[in-house]
Homo-oligomer: A and B are copies of this chain.
């Protein structure tokens, strides 16, 4: 006879690939988002918050990293309404696809050009891994309806300003700019793009694009192999190559290595490489304009460079592409030094709104990976600091809870973070342990005796910890970390200690 099953207790677990953020983590991210938002706003960008949920139809298939297995969205079907099957809905996987939908939907009510910024979580239905989460924050700025590359140059300048505003020193980052049209010109010269038949060689070009994008990871040898027959990685997996001849591959490699000492020289070199390709020359001209605009505004190669090795994997870019990279070294999980790498990227995508409207609408923008940027600041020791705990008013007499509540109310009204201990007050040691765990700078104590005399004990917990670590027995006995003050001086006394701690 089968045993009767009892309903098991639910597991207290986040779903795989999701996590919770506590206290200082939340505050640190908020502080960063606030700063980024201020820079974007000062540049004339308006806030937009679209819904987290979109129809699958509106989102389309523009996921980055399409060659990765399990890439996808979280999607579900609405209940049917009568005969009509329900729509498929999904969580947004980035902030760009929703912008295209918003612009197409509201374009008659929006200014043109429309500069907008957006920040919030996005969701990817990917295989979770160490440090790889399925919900993460992005912070985007895009300009829709501006065909001029001045819009691209502006985004690059703003990206540079933003990184410095959140605390990345000049010299610790670089914004790299390239242009897809130049790459297309090079492809044309290499014989894998036929302007008369754009669909021809599309697969080869896809492989070339992804190969160049992997330069950092695979090195020139690896990229070269992918341009040719293909490449076997350490695990033995074989990736099919683009099948380019040696001469063709030389052209592409020459493009990737075209970076010179400054923007003008790089542009000159690219101009040679694209030869007579119409699209290539257009791309070179755009890069030249961007370089000129940025130079005129004082954004030198210490901040923004033209770099032909940047291609960005995303299929929808149509012109300038850019990427911000942090150039300082950190230790990876195995203790090896490596550059921190990319924290933001973007480019021009002139066809995304067209999906909805049929009319081409120029657009360009950037997305900052907020969580990566926070991790970078933390690696530099510049990130979140432990949150300042509240002043803890302890409870000596349970019956006098109203008195203790009055104390915290006074402290709060003076702008001081404060709370009364709300656990079981019986064991006073537990109250001090709690204050310690909360990172409280001060504990306030008032027993019946002190209440009768109209005084309170003020315990400087940080000084107490310092003394406990370093002081002699005599000093310890003198207990300067605890003092008795008149009840009426409570706020002033606490403020004095907080000033010392902050100073």
Of residues A297, A358, A402, which shows the largest number of chain B Cβ atoms within 10 Å of its Cβ? A402
Bound together, the chains give a CA A115 to CA B392 distance in angstroms of 13
Kindly state whether residue A23 has any CB partner on chain B within 8 Å: yes
Q: How far is the CB of A128 from chain B (nearest CB, A)?
A: 11
Interface residue? A198 (CB, 8 A):
no
CB pair B18 A51 closer than 8 Å: yes
Are the CB atoms of B423 and A12 closer together than 8 Å?
no
Cβ–Cβ contact A111 & B434, under 8 A = yes
Chain B residues whose CB sits within 8 angstroms of the CB of A30 once the complex forms: 47
A409 at interface by CB-CB < 8 Å? yes
Q: Which of A391-427 contact B (CB under 8 A)?
A: 392, 401-403, 405-406, 408-409, 412, 415-424
- The oligomer's copy count stands at 2
Q: Check A491 for interface membership: any CB of B closer than 8 A.
A: no
Task: Report the bound CA distance from A190 to B323 in whole Å.
Answer: 71
Contact A44 B419, beta carbon cutoff 8 Å: yes
> In the assembled complex, how far is the CB of residue A305 from the closest CB belonging to chain B, in whole angstroms?
18
- Would you call A325 an interface residue if the criterion is a C-beta within 8 Å of the partner chain's C-beta atoms? no
CB neighbours (8 Å) of A423 from chain B are: 112-113, 145-146
**Docked CA distance A135–B113 (Å):** 29
Q: Does any Cβ of B come within 8 Å of A339's Cβ?
A: no
Chain A: residues with Cβ within 8 Å of the partner, total of 99
Docked complex Cα distance between A292 and B51 (Å):
44
**Chain B CB within 8 A of A341 CB:** no
Instruction: Report whether B42 and A418 are in contact in the complex, using a CB–CB cutoff of 8 Å.
Output: yes
Given the interface pairs A111-B438, A293-B402, A405-B293, the reply to whether A43 lies near B419 with Cβ below 8 Å is yes
Least CB separation from A289: chain B residue: B401
Interface-side segment among A97-105, A236-244, A251-259: A97-105
Which residues on the B side are within 8 Å of A44 (C-beta)?
390, 392, 408, 417-419, 438
Would you give the 0/1 interface string for A23-53, flagging 1 where the beta carbon is closer than 8 Å to chain B? 1011100100000000001111011111111
| Residues of chain B within 8 A of A218, CB atoms compared | none
Bound-state CA distance A9–B355 (Å) is: 6
Contacts of A55 in B (CB 8 A): 10-11, 13, 15
Q: Is A83 an interface residue (CB 8 A)?
A: no
A58 to B, closest residue via Cβ: B10
Q: Mark A77-115, 1 if CB is under 8 A from B, else 0.
A: 011000000010101000000000110111000011101
Whether A15 contacts B87 in the complex (CB less than 8 A), given A50-B20, A51-B135, A52-B52, comes out as: yes
B22 touches A148 (CB 8 A): no
Would B297 and A405 count as touching, CB distance under 8 A? yes
List chain B residues, Cβ under 8 A from A19: 51
Encode contact with B along A223-254: 1 for CB under 8 Å, 0 otherwise: 00000000000000000000000000000000
The CA-CA distance from A351 to B56 in the complex, in Å, is 39
A213 in the interface, Cβ–Cβ < 8 Å?
no
- B13, B27, B123, B412: the one within 8 Å of A105 (CB): B13
Interface string of A126-155 (1 = CB under 8 A from B): 000000001100000001011110110110
Contact A422 B57 (CB under 8 A): no
- A87 CB to nearest chain B CB (Å): 7
Q: Which of B104, B112, B121, B145 is the one whose CB lies under 8 Å from A12?
A: B104
Interchain CB contact under 8 A, B11 and A58: yes
CB-defined contacts of A52 to chain B, threshold 8 Å: 52, 91, 121, 123, 135
**Is residue A467 within 8 Å, beta carbon to beta carbon, of the partner chain?**
no
User: A76 an interface residue at 8 Å Cβ cutoff?
Assistant: yes
Chain B's nearest CB lies how many Å from the CB of A152? 10
Q: Which of B20, B101, B154 meets A48, CB within 8 Å?
A: B20
Check B58–A46 contact: CB distance below 8 A: no
Residues of B within 8 Å of A415, CB to CB, are 42
Task: List residues of chain B with CB within 8 A of the CB of A422.
Answer: 113, 143, 146, 148, 150-151, 154
5 nearest A-B residue pairs (beta carbon): A44-B419, A296-B402, A12-B104, A26-B47, A18-B51
A-B contact pairs, 6 of them (CB 8 A): A9-B356, A44-B418, A46-B387, A53-B134, A91-B91, A150-B405
Binding site for B on A (CB under 8 A): 9-16, 18-23, 25-27, 30, 41-44, 46-55, 57-58, 60, 70, 74-76, 78-79, 87, 89, 91, 101-102, 104-106, 111-113, 115, 121, 123, 134-135, 143, 145-148, 150-151, 153-154, 157, 292-293, 296-297, 355-358, 387, 390, 392, 401-403, 405-406, 408-409, 412, 415-424, 434, 437-438
18 A-B pairs besides A13-B101, A42-B417, A154-B405 with CB distance below 8 A are A9-B355, A10-B55, A11-B55, A14-B101, A15-B51, A20-B50, A21-B47, A23-B47, A30-B47, A42-B416, A44-B390, A44-B418, A53-B74, A74-B76, A113-B421, A148-B422, A293-B405, A297-B405
